[in-house]
Amino acid sequence: MALTIATESFSRFERLSFVTRRVAQAGLGGEHRSRRRAPSTDFIDYRPYQPGDDFRRVDWNVYGRLGTLQVKLTEARERLDVVLVLDCSASMAWGQPDKLAFSANVVAALGYVALARSDAVRVVCLRDGQAPVVLGPLSGRGRLPELVRLVSQVPSGGRVELNRALSDCLPSEGSQRLVVLVSDLLTPDGMGDGLDVLLAQRIDVIVLHVFSPDELDPRLAGEVELVDAESGDILELGASLATLDAYRGRYASWLEDQAAECAARGVRYVRVSSDRPLTSVILEDLRHAQVLR
């Protein structure tokens, strides 16, 4: 079943751009700072003139005051290589509202932000035991419908091992990317190893942890058979108040563990509830977390 992507609100994200800790290297034409020195309006420094320099870049006002020829250095603007990784495991298709539908909207919105800033956008959908679905690199707002079509029709199901999936999801060429992982992180083995692999490639990683309010406060009572959405395993449980209290405590502790794991690696971690309005997430939560500006 196709997901509904609320593209009508994307115009409010027109002026946003990603905040990256790595310089952009996806080619000129973007709006992110680069280490390249190239003619632009962004002044960064002076240096003494050397033969062969463009004579037009000599600052004659400085020559008038100091009597030496100084050349103005300007910073090049490059495109950012943004990789949006969407966890499409069965656990994402759970909750009210559906975490996957919510995450698909977030990915589409982030994709729009990147395309509006002329960044190179790739979308990677992690699936159960199969090669991830990869779209891109896309560039320009005209590619937005293509991106929306992918995330609205992405199939969900099965279980995704984040460690392995994160290690394998990116092509080996290129670096200095920004990877945004949108996931509920519900995998027993965690995601630390996968993050380490990405960080080793000098990739700037942002983790958007999507959770459902039902996960925080499950409404269970009496005798239940809990069925794992991904593996189908069954756990017979007599759900008492003490059981639910213990679960809430464990879930809160697990959330903190995820945040701590990201913090320990210098990875930006943003926790988002699936019942938050999309505009609030993009304009408030992600800006507040310095993911967007």
Partner 1 sequence: MTFLLPLGLIALLVAPLIYLIHLLHGSRRRVRVPALFLWADLPRASTGRERRRWPPLSVLLLLQLMAAILAALALARPASSSDPPRHVVFVMDASASMLATDVAPNRFEAAKVRASERLRTLNNQTDRVSLVRAGADASLLASGSPDAVRSALSGVQAGLGGAAIRDALALATTQVGATPERNGQIVVFSDVAWPTLAPVGALGAPVEIVAIGGSSENQAVSIPQVRMDPSGRAQTAFVEITNAADHPVRVPVRLTADDAPIDQREIDLPARGLTRLSVPLATEVHSISVRLLGRDALPLDDSATSLAPGGPPRDVLLIGRPSASLRRALESVPFVRLQVIEPTAVDRPRADLTVLDSIMPTQLPAGPLLLVDPPVSSARFLGVGLGSGARVQAGHPLMQGLDLAALRGETPTISAVPGWAHVVLGNVQGPLVMEGKLEGHPVVAFTFDPAVSGLDKSIAFPLLISNATSFLLAPADTPSEPFDTAESDIHPRPAPAFESVARTGELSAGWVERWPWLIGALLLVLAAEWVAFARRG
Do 274 and 213 form a contact (C-beta atoms < 8 A)? yes
Q: Order of strands across the sheet with 43-48?
A: 28-37, 70-78, 43-48
Site string for partner 1, 225-264 (x = CB under 8 A): xxxxxxx-xxxxxxxx-xx--xx--xx--x----------
The answer to whether residue 97 forms part of the interface with partner 1 (CB under 8 A) is no
Residue 95 found at the interface with partner 1 (CB under 8 A): yes
Question: In angstroms, what is the minimal distance from the CB of 90 to partner 1?
Answer: 8
Q: Is 153 in the site for partner 1 (CB under 8 A)?
A: no
CA distances from 32 to 174, 179, 276 (A): 17, 16, 29
Output 82 or 185, the one with its CB closest to partner 1: 185
Rounded Cα distance between 209 and 197, Å, is 19
* Minimum gap (Å) between residue 215 Cβ and partner 1: 6
- What is d(CA 289, CA 207) in angstroms, rounded to the nearest whole number? 11
In 10-38, which positions are buried (b, 16+ CB within 10 angstroms) versus exposed (e)? beebeebbbbbeebbbbeeebebbbeeee
CA neighbor of 164 nearest in space, from 211, 131, 138, 123? 131
Does 51 bind partner 1 (CB under 8 A)? Our answer is no
180-199 positions binding partner 1, by CB under 8 A: 184, 186-188
Q: Which range of residues in 62-70, 108-116, 223-231, 278-286 is near partner 1 by CB under 8 A? A: 223-231
Q: Is 220 in the site for partner 1 (CB under 8 A)?
A: yes
Is the CB of 49 or the CB of 251 nearer to partner 1?
A: 251
Binding site for partner 1 (CB under 8 A): 91-92, 94-95, 99, 184, 186-188, 212, 215, 218, 220, 222-231, 233-240, 242-243, 246-247, 250-251, 254
